[in-house]
Amino acid sequence: MAKVGDKSGCSRNKGLKRKAATEEPQEAAVAEDGTTESGVQLSKAAAFPPGFSVSEIKNKQRRHLMFTRWKQQQRKEKLAAKKKLKKEREALGDKAPPKPIPKTIDNQRVYDETTVDPNDEEVAYDEATDEFASYFNRQTSPKILITTSDRPHGRTVRLCEQLSTVIPNSHVYYRRGLALKKIIPQCISRDFTDLIVINEDRKIPNGLILSHLPNGPTAHFKMSSVRLRKEIKRRGKDPTEHMPEIILNNFTTRLGHSVGRMFASLFPHNPQFIGRQVATFHNQRDYIFFRFHRYIFKSEKKVGIQELGPRFTLKLRSLQKGTFDSKYGEYEWVHKPREMDTSRRKFHL
């Protein structure tokens, strides 16, 4: 019995020695300073040969270490190439070739046939005869009613109150169980030009309905990424009562043009520049980002901006003719994800 034990002990010792012998060169190859135990510096080619694949390493820890080192090497090579290119451009001076424009989803956008041309006579005629013509002809001034869904919670109520400080001549009223079909005639009789309804789900604002009165149209948006004033870092003081400017970006198609005109009709024509306040509706990939800022003049040449809040993101779900009518309303446009979202480079606004 003792002899058998001795044999098994010897074989076990031999196995451990064999394992240690195979692990030593591997540990030397992945030393963190790039050197072996003998102190020899490994070149990049030796550390990462052309056919090198991290996935072939079975040991998880060593695979993670090698992958980290490989990413660092890639980063260094990219930075070196960038510095080399910068030196070449500085040496050439004015003769340097123009910088290549990087490819993005935005500049690779699929062309839309409904893209608005400013010189198009048909577009000009439609704008002169649409529902917003009285506003743009300065025949009416905006008067906005802001309300919520039934039984709103604190976050939705605070958002309505903060929106009323952003949009001049806006009034906040609570639903008290009234249907929108009953609210709209009351708004028209009291000369309101627009109705904004903020919906919520699980105490979080998740939808916005914008209806232009008295003849429509009505837009339904999905709302996300809502941040109230207290949740914004380095925000400025509360906005003043000055009329803000409005900026509309990237509303290029006929549909986007209609949505942009809806947002424009919420604000008065004559902004008070002394207040240095600006409301921005920025469309990017069919997401509309709303921000409210104040200009800060640092010097005669430098201007900064300070966010005042609130902020949120909108995505158009439908555009309906006339005022709100969920049962018999006629829709101009409805978002159908399975049919319309087949390409990442296809946008509708």
pLDDT digits (tens, 9 = 90+) for 1-34: 444 445 445 444 545 444 444 444 444 344 444 4
For the stretch 129-148, pLDDT in tens is 899 999 999 999 999 999 99
Mean pLDDT of 257-271: 93
Q: What pLDDT is attached to residue 206?
A: 94
Cβ contact 258:277 at 8 Å? no
Q: What pLDDT is attached to residue 264?
A: 95
Structure tokens at 102: 């990087």
Cβ contact 160:198 at 8 Å? yes
For the chain, give every domain's residue range: 119-341
CATH topology assigned to domain 119-341 = Rossmann fold (3.40.50)
For the chain, helix, strand, coil in percent to 5 are 35, 25, 40
- The Cα–Cα gap between 69 and 47 comes to 10
For the stretch 48-97, pLDDT in tens is 667 778 888 888 999 999 899 989 999 999 999 999 988 988 888 888 88
- The Cα–Cα gap between 75 and 278 comes to 40
Cβ contact 284:348 at 8 Å? no
Rg (CA), the chain: 32
- Cα–Cα distance list, 156 to 79, 135, 162, 285, 345 (Å): 48, 29, 10, 26, 34
User: What's the distance, Cα to Cα, between the start and end of the chain in Å?
Assistant: 86
Sign of the C-alpha dihedral, residues 60, 62, 65, 71? negative
| Residue scoring higher pLDDT (218 or 98) | 218
Coil, helix or strand for 110? Answer: coil
Cβ contact 139:128 at 8 Å? no
Burial of 313 (0-12, 13-18, 19+ CB in 10 A): middle
Stated length of the chain: 349
Structure tokens at 76: 């260094």
- The Cα–Cα gap between 23 and 15 comes to 12
Coil, helix or strand for 221? Answer: strand
Round the average pLDDT of the chain to a whole number and report it: 85
For the stretch 191-213, pLDDT in tens is 999 999 999 999 999 999 999 99
> Is the pLDDT assigned to residue 259 strictly greater than 90?
yes
Burial of 288 (0-12, 13-18, 19+ CB in 10 A): buried
Q: What pLDDT is attached to residue 13?
A: 52
Cβ contact 195:185 at 8 Å? no
Binning pLDDT at 50, 70 and 90, where does residue 277 land?
very high
Residue spans of beta strands (DSSP E) within 121-183: 144-148, 170-172
> Is the pLDDT assigned to residue 249 strictly greater than 90?
yes
Q: What pLDDT is attached to residue 183?
A: 92
Q: What pLDDT is attached to residue 23?
A: 45
With tokens 């056919």, the residue in question is: 51
Mean pLDDT of 93-106: 84
b/e map 116-152, b = 16+ CB within 10 Å: beeeeeeeeeeeeebbbeebeeeeeebbbbbbbbeeb
- The Cα–Cα gap between 144 and 172 comes to 9
Q: What pLDDT is attached to residue 27?
A: 42
Mean pLDDT of 260-271: 94
